[in-house]
Structure 1
Amino acid sequence: MSNKTIIIVGGALAGPAAASRAREIDGKARIILLERNTRVSYALAGLSFHLSGEVKSLEELNREREDYFRQVYQIEVHTRTEVKRIDPKKKTLLVVSHGKEEILSYDRLIFATGASSIHPEGLPKVSNFRYFRTLDDLAAIKQSLKKGKKRILILGGGSMGLEALDGCVRGGAEVTLIEKEKHILPQFSENISKLVEEKLSKKAKLLTGVNRLEFITKNDSVTEVIADGKKIKCDFIVSAIGVYPRTELLKEAGVKLQQDGTILVNEFCQTNIPHIYACSICVSVPSPRGPVWIPQAAVSDKTAQVAGANAAGDSVKLGVFSASMQIRLPEWEVGRVGLTGKEALLEAGKNNLGKVLILAKDKEPYLPGSSEITLELFFHLKSGKLLGLEAVGTNIKSRLDAFAAAFTLNGTIVSLAQSDFAYTPAFGTARDALNIAATVALQIQKGQTKIVEPSELKRNRKDFFLLDVSLKKTKNKEFDDSIPLESLRTSVKELKTKLEASRKNKIAVISDSGRRGHLAFCILKENGMTAFNVIGGKKLYSLFGD
């Protein structure tokens, strides 16, 4: 150990974690933590829980304050201090603290500035607007709710926007959410997004595919927003339309950046300048598909642990990241792991991308409180390699975690189908939802079942004879015929006659959840008919327009 100086730039989440870890490795180093805002070490991922009322005080999100780091870790903490320039040759920083310029020297530098919020285009400077990023933002939103100004407009339907929505709805707000893409959660598949939208629409107003926003102001406040001609009255605007990495200082200092502006680090969190380390959501991290940007709190912490340890003299390596994420919603949860649907398509190619969507239960259906889980699994058709998973429902975390482990270890649908998960009826089913999804994937790979997505079926409706095989016979005009599964074997001859009369050569079988549809597919296949099972069943099919 030596009396070296380690300076950490950025004090929200990663910076304090890196500083603390560095102190645990080196007890003699001088460690300085610089933060331009008023607080350090706040729980960024917990913002929505204060809005909901579950975390009563902002101080609960900001427990480890400046005094804590000074007293416990002997770390020098400087808030309201901004770094203006980095000189890597001289190993110095030009900082402005409380209006005064100062030069600080270092032996090791850890860059942990994170990201900045993107400002909504056309929005002027007003008093009733905040990003969803800091404790000061949170305090302003909470104050609006306390004053009874509860018409909250949230811009952005990604993960951050939905976290803000969850907190505001639980806190009693009347929420309108606006997203420019055609569905919320643009990184998720349209199937999963549709299911989330259907559930959320009962709790908030959702406007998607919005191209143009106009802001109507009075005095210093926005009173109305016009979204593609639709007027929306509001008391407060929260922006969660995205972030960009704060890496300009490092770029000026000669540090190599990725095309998206993130910092390219090695497995030790070193930049191309060895004495400069980087962590938090301004770095790209290792993944099975190479360096990727994953702007999430868990990534900040993991990279901070590595950067802090190594800057202090240890030799710790980053693991492989699976891009796991989970969002709590007012009634459900939604999450994903691995490649998105678009990334999986690029990875596997159109002819080799396999996809499964299943509806299952989070626990044994005979137990009170048993509820639905929907999983969408992406895999490589030829090799069976796991590519990605999306989930919506309740109690989905264990499924996401199990898939993350399998994905990181280059698992396949074979291993996942036979994975022996912990079981008790209160928390799962004897054959877990993950086992079921992987088993269906194997059936697709072996040609034992064929599927059609609701969106594809709607687009090519004229090519399919749509057969309902639900328990009870229905008279829905949307379906060409309705034959309960139990009667299908004895009705094949009659069905063939109707199919011939319709001049269609393909049958799409649909049921409530998809399980009965698969069994119907098997019967029709045995009888020489070309059949497809509609994934997601009637529930998902009904969410797609003509």
Structure 2
Amino acid sequence: MQYVIIGGDAAGMSAAMQIIRHDQHAKVITLEKGNIYSYSQCGLPYLIGQDITSSSKLIARSIDTFRNKYGIDARCGYEVTEIDAEAKQVKGKTVEHHKPFSISYDKLLIATGADPVFPDWSGKHFKGIYTLKTISDAEKMIKGLSRDVQHAVIIGGGYIGLEVAEAFYKRKLKVTMIDRGSRLIKVFDSDMSELIHEEAANKGIKIILNEEVQEFKGDEFVQAVETDKGSYKADIAVAAAGIAPNTSFLEHTPVELGIKNAIKVNEYMETSAENIYAAGDCALQYHRLKKAYDYIPLGTNANKMGRIAGMNMIGERRPFAGITGTSIIKFIDLELGRSGLTEEDAAKLGYDFEAVKIKSTDIAGYFPGKTPLWVKLIAEKGTKKLLGGQVIGRNGAAKRTDVIAAALYSGLTITDLENLDLSYAPPFNSVWDPIQQAARRFK
């Protein structure tokens, strides 16, 4: 049996490892457009911010490890441009020499990920303008910072935008963030986003909202970012305006696409084309709270989906249980955690819901070193079923976010949250965990 996997990062290599561990006779060919396998994209902002001292530390397994230890035919510089589902072949060209190739498969996994969105702004050709997706992107940005750079502009207020803003802040740059929306990181409700805006203001990061970028100004290097309302000085600029699935090569195939042109899959990671699977940032995920497929590209989802895809490709039938939209991000001194639905989500889905927001502390209120912790819970009226939660604070948000995620996965109610036997000692918690304090406020 010949398995072909397009993509050599989280989803692709998670699948490859499942296949070779369960089928010792399998021939696995992986095709990666770049030249690095299995690296942590999530660690790139911390490489830029100098928390991580070397890009090599972000590589989980080298190409040689996959080839020599696991017997995977791991190829670099192979760009797939076409799939012939009827003939069961993938076709494309090598990146360096543009040499055409055609490879047959018995089972195929599409794990092509997603690339940064970079609108066709005027002046985007100037030096000093970057996107962030690969180790090469990060290294180019770090090299660009070796110039006399003082003013940095980040376009977009999502996960990558916030993490790059923190990295530039650590490098002592004057940072401006521009977002066309009314708040940063829209996976949080507006009342929680205010805490993020306050943190930015306290650290001297300028937030520009409700403005559309139109062009870059410069000479050889970028010098300013122009919006529909103003001009902002920039010695370096980063486009962090979201990502788009790498699925354009599927246009003339029977592989069906959905939200944002991500690939539609069933619970077994099967696409609409026979013997073709998909996983990771190029595919949709089933959302347990929304009871529908959604597009939430995160490393945790990609690894789980890849593992499940690999198992199903070798006949170990196992469904993907879905997601609750859990994420956490560090923004300078704050931890920002969330899972499930926001108020906006719940309203769109027609829920009759109520929300409670409290300010508590991460540990016992009388214990030295306590810091503020804000918790917001959303629940369905009547049933009291938990629908979502958001936690922001300097410490302790991660612990509470994971409790919320587990509760959402299990379909717990507000009363169930109150009854959970959570750990307590003054250096770690209050006798009533802040989540339970919030749960007790519901009517």
Normalising TM by the smaller chain, what interval? over 0.9
1:414 paired to 2:411: no
Q: Please show how residues 112-123 of structure 1 align to structure 2 within 5 Å.
A: 112-123=111-122
Letter in 2 for 1:292: D
Q: Secondary structure at the match of 1:291?
A: strand
* Contact 1:92/1:103 (8 A) holds in 2: yes
CA distance in structure 2 between the partners assigned to 1:179 and 1:118 by the alignment: 14
> What corresponds to 2:405 in structure 1?
404
CA distance in structure 1 between the partners assigned to 2:8 and 2:185 by the alignment: 29
> What corresponds to 1:208 in structure 2?
209
> Which structure is larger by alpha-carbon Rg, 1 or 2?
1
* Contact 1:95/1:104 (8 A) holds in 2: no
> What corresponds to 1:332 in structure 2?
334
> What corresponds to 1:146 in structure 2?
146
* Contact 1:51/1:170 (8 A) holds in 2: no
Higher mean displacement: 27-36 or 9-18: 9-18
Report the CA distance between 1:304 and its aligned residue. 0.6
Q: Secondary structure at the match of 1:86?
A: strand
Letter in 1 for 2:212: N
1:234 paired to 2:231: no
Letter in 1 for 2:348: L
Report the CA distance between 1:211 and its aligned residue. 2.9
Report the CA distance between 1:217 and its aligned residue. 1.8
Letter in 1 for 2:375: L
Report the CA distance between 1:280 and its aligned residue. 0.5
Higher mean displacement: 297-306 or 141-150: 141-150
Given the alignment, which residue of 85, 90, 97 partners 2:87?
Answer: 90
CA distance in structure 1 between the partners assigned to 2:349 and 2:92 by the alignment: 45
Letter in 1 for 2:322: V
In structure 2, do the counterparts of structure 1 residues 74 and 50 end up closer, same or farther at CA, with 3 Å as the change threshold?
same
Report the CA distance between 1:147 and its aligned residue. 3.2
Q: Secondary structure at the match of 1:283?
A: coil
Q: Please show how residues 245-394 of structure 1 align to structure 2 within 5 Å.
A: 245-288=245-288, 289-349=291-351, 352-393=352-393, 394=395
1:27 paired to 2:24: yes
Q: Please show how residues 498-537 of structure 1 align to structure 2 within 5 Å.
A: none
* Contact 2:287/2:324 (8 A) holds in 1: yes
Q: Secondary structure at the match of 2:178?
A: strand
Aligned length: 436
Report the CA distance between 1:363 and its aligned residue. 0.3
Larger relative contact order (Cα-Cα within 8 Å, sequence gap ≥ 6): 2
Report the CA distance between 1:212 and its aligned residue. 4.3
CA distance in structure 2 between the partners assigned to 1:214 and 1:69 by the alignment: 43
Letter in 2 for 1:431: W
In structure 2, do the counterparts of structure 1 residues 430 and 197 end up closer, same or farther at CA, with 3 Å as the change threshold?
same
Letter in 2 for 1:222: V
Structure 2 regions of 5+ residues with no counterpart? none
1:8 paired to 2:10: no
In structure 2, do the counterparts of structure 1 residues 225 and 440 end up closer, same or farther at CA, with 3 Å as the change threshold?
same
Letter in 1 for 2:329: I
CA distance in structure 2 between the partners assigned to 1:369 and 1:27 by the alignment: 54
Q: Secondary structure at the match of 1:226?
A: strand
> What corresponds to 1:81 in structure 2?
78
Letter in 2 for 1:113: T
Report the CA distance between 1:32 and its aligned residue. 0.9
Superposed CA deviations along residues 98-154 of structure 1, whole A, max 9, x for unmatched, are 311111111110100111211134142222111121111111121122334242211
Letter in 2 for 1:31: V
Superposed CA deviations along residues 4-60 of structure 1, whole A, max 9, x for unmatched, are 111110123221222122211112211111111222211011111111212100111
> What corresponds to 1:67 in structure 2?
64
Report the CA distance between 1:63 and its aligned residue. 4.4
Letter in 2 for 1:104: I
Superposed CA deviations along residues 50-95 of structure 1, whole A, max 9, x for unmatched, are 1121210011112422111101211112111101110111111112
* Contact 2:339/2:401 (8 A) holds in 1: yes
Q: Secondary structure at the match of 1:255?
A: coil
1:106 paired to 2:108: no
CA distance in structure 2 between the partners assigned to 1:107 and 1:396 by the alignment: 45
Q: Secondary structure at the match of 2:359?
A: strand
> What corresponds to 2:53 in structure 1?
56
Report the CA distance between 1:253 and its aligned residue. 1.4
Superposed CA deviations along residues 359-394 of structure 1, whole A, max 9, x for unmatched, are 011001222221011111111112111111111112
Question: What TM-score, normalized to structure 1?
Answer: 0.77
> What corresponds to 1:46 in structure 2?
43
Higher mean displacement: 140-149 or 397-406: 140-149
CA distance in structure 2 between the partners assigned to 1:45 and 1:21 by the alignment: 23
Superposed CA deviations along residues 202-250 of structure 1, whole A, max 9, x for unmatched, are 221111111343311202x211112344332211111111111112233
CA distance in structure 1 between the partners assigned to 2:150 and 2:142 by the alignment: 10
| RMSD of equivalent CA atoms | 1.5
> What corresponds to 2:243 in structure 1?
243
Q: Secondary structure at the match of 1:421?
A: coil
CA distance in structure 1 between the partners assigned to 2:324 and 2:66 by the alignment: 32
Letter in 2 for 1:323: G
> What corresponds to 2:127 in structure 1?
127
CA distance in structure 2 between the partners assigned to 1:23 and 1:148 by the alignment: 49
* Contact 2:259/2:295 (8 A) holds in 1: no
Letter in 2 for 1:262: A
In structure 2, do the counterparts of structure 1 residues 161 and 91 end up closer, same or farther at CA, with 3 Å as the change threshold?
same
> What corresponds to 1:176 in structure 2?
176
* Contact 1:23/1:312 (8 A) holds in 2: no
Higher mean displacement: 144-153 or 304-313: 144-153
User: Identity of aligned pairs, percent?
Assistant: 28
Q: Secondary structure at the match of 1:428?
A: coil
Structure 1 regions of 5+ residues with no counterpart? 445-546
Report the CA distance between 1:339 and its aligned residue. 1.1
CA distance in structure 1 between the partners assigned to 2:120 and 2:337 by the alignment: 29
Q: Secondary structure at the match of 1:213?
A: strand
Report the CA distance between 1:161 and its aligned residue. 0.9
CA distance in structure 2 between the partners assigned to 1:173 and 1:312 by the alignment: 51
CA distance in structure 2 between the partners assigned to 1:227 and 1:202 by the alignment: 24
Superposed CA deviations along residues 446-475 of structure 1, whole A, max 9, x for unmatched, are xxxxxxxxxxxxxxxxxxxxxxxxxxxxxx
* Contact 2:257/2:263 (8 A) holds in 1: yes
Q: Secondary structure at the match of 2:307?
A: helix
Question: What TM-score, normalized to structure 2?
Answer: 0.95
Superposed CA deviations along residues 326-373 of structure 1, whole A, max 9, x for unmatched, are 010111111210012211112344xx2201110011001222221011
* Contact 2:40/2:60 (8 A) holds in 1: no
* Contact 1:386/1:413 (8 A) holds in 2: yes
Superposed CA deviations along residues 150-191 of structure 1, whole A, max 9, x for unmatched, are 422111001221121122222333221111101111221110
* Contact 2:211/2:229 (8 A) holds in 1: no
Given the alignment, which residue of 17, 26, 37 partners 2:34?
Answer: 37
CA distance in structure 1 between the partners assigned to 2:251 and 2:399 by the alignment: 40
Report the CA distance between 1:401 and its aligned residue. 0.7
CA distance in structure 1 between the partners assigned to 2:180 and 2:125 by the alignment: 22
* Contact 1:333/1:396 (8 A) holds in 2: yes
CA distance in structure 2 between the partners assigned to 1:63 and 1:384 by the alignment: 42
